[in-house]
Amino acid sequence: MDISLQGRAALITGGSDGLGKGMAIRFAASGADVAILARDPDKLEAARADIADAGSGKVAMLSCDLLDAAATNAAFADAEEALGKIDILVNNAGTSRAGPFEDITDDEWAEDLELKLMAAIRLCRAALPGMKSRQWGRIINVLNIGAKAPRPVGAPTAVSRAAGLALTKVLAGDGAPHNVLVNALMVGLIKSGQWERAHENSGSNDSYDVFVQNMSDDRGIPLGRIGETEEFSNIACFLASDQAGYITGTSINVDGGASPVV
């Protein structure tokens, strides 16, 4: 299937690294104009160059901390101005914070919900009017398989992600009469910047490939390996395209079979 995003404009949060950067490259290669949002301007600049190499459309950068509501709203307005419109919104920025329940403070709960839920809510609220008026839109919420199958040490992220799943369903119903389709991608373990940093910080003499293979073995992933970034961005690109025009209000596990539930 030839997937084209020609003429579309996408905003991808967390687009400077990992899965977000992978999606930005894939979308650009498929013809989209792309805006990437993250905090670190140097990482944004490095990603911008790779994304520009992948396609011939516009690439905009937004340095913004999604924990700041006013900055988030301003960044959306800047993205819209830079690209002329936002047809595709990917709420991807996040961290994989999780630990023993009794150790998690109120501040840590609040920060996790702010970054993973409230930032997505604010960006959806900003994006929907334009999508509805043009009768075309795609929102993709990047979540975690723990949203449906939380582990005992899955908080706070599994709780924030479960709320993201409910948000996905609410917005799918809201957007459907306007051809705005809203879906979630449930990540298991996929190669990304966060695992490269974890490998660097581990002090291990193992190569990155051995490090991530050990992670996969520890989790017992049925396909026997961690996912490739491109395997994730391919499915995101499909959901962002016209070809996915009859899919809304659902979630897809991208996890090599790791989730115990569909």
User: Of 71, 56, 52, nearest to 79 (Cα)?
Assistant: 71
Which of the residues 173 through 212 are near ligand NAP (CB under 6 A)? Answer: 187, 189-190, 192-194
Give the β-pairing of 59-63 and 180-187.
Answer: unpaired
Instruction: Give the C-alpha separation, 52 to 47, whole Å.
Output: 9
Size of residue set near ligand NAP by CB under 6 A: 28
Q: Is 17 in the site for ligand NAP (CB under 6 A)?
A: yes
Instruction: Give the C-alpha separation, 191 to 75, whole Å.
Output: 27
Nearer to ligand NAP, 39 or 169 (CB): 39
**From the CB of 56, what's the least distance to ligand NAP, in Å?**
23
Q: Is 142 in the site for ligand NAP (CB under 6 A)?
A: yes
The CA–CA distances, whole Å, from 188 to 3, 36, 87, 240 equal: 24, 23, 27, 20
Q: Which of 55, 57, 94, 175 binds ligand NAP (CB under 6 A)?
A: 94
**From the CB of 65, what's the least distance to ligand NAP, in Å?**
5
Q: Tell me the H-state helices in the chain.
A: 18-29, 41-54, 69-83, 106-113, 119-134, 157-175, 193-202, 208-219, 229-239
Nearer to ligand NAP, 144 or 241 (CB): 144
Contact footprint for ligand NAP (CB under 6 A): 14, 16-20, 38-40, 43, 64-67, 92-96, 115, 142, 144, 187, 189-190, 192-194
